[in-house]
Amino acid sequence: MVILLTDGESSDIKAPKDYAVIAELRAQNITVFTLAIALLALSVLTLFGLRFTPW
């Protein structure tokens, strides 16, 4: 199992390399869970009625 933390801003692995990475993970029966931290933080701010203001 892999837990991937990301800000969700860019993709680091693009086609056609992504297929090779996915195939290798599947071959080794590895599951990847992704947590998008930036989106989670914005969701929490919204939940409490706060606004994000970039500097």
CA distance 30 to 2: 7
- Residue 28 clears pLDDT 90, i.e. is over it: yes
Cα distances from 32 to residues 43, 45, 47, 54, in angstroms, run 22, 27, 27, 30
How is the chain split into domains, by residue range? Answer: 2-47
pTM summary value: 0.53
* More confident: 47 or 20: 20
* More confident: 14 or 2: 2
User: Tens digit of pLDDT for each residue in 14-26?
Assistant: 788 888 988 999 9
Q: What whole-number percentage of the chain has pLDDT above 90? A: 16
- Residue 48 clears pLDDT 70, i.e. is over it: yes
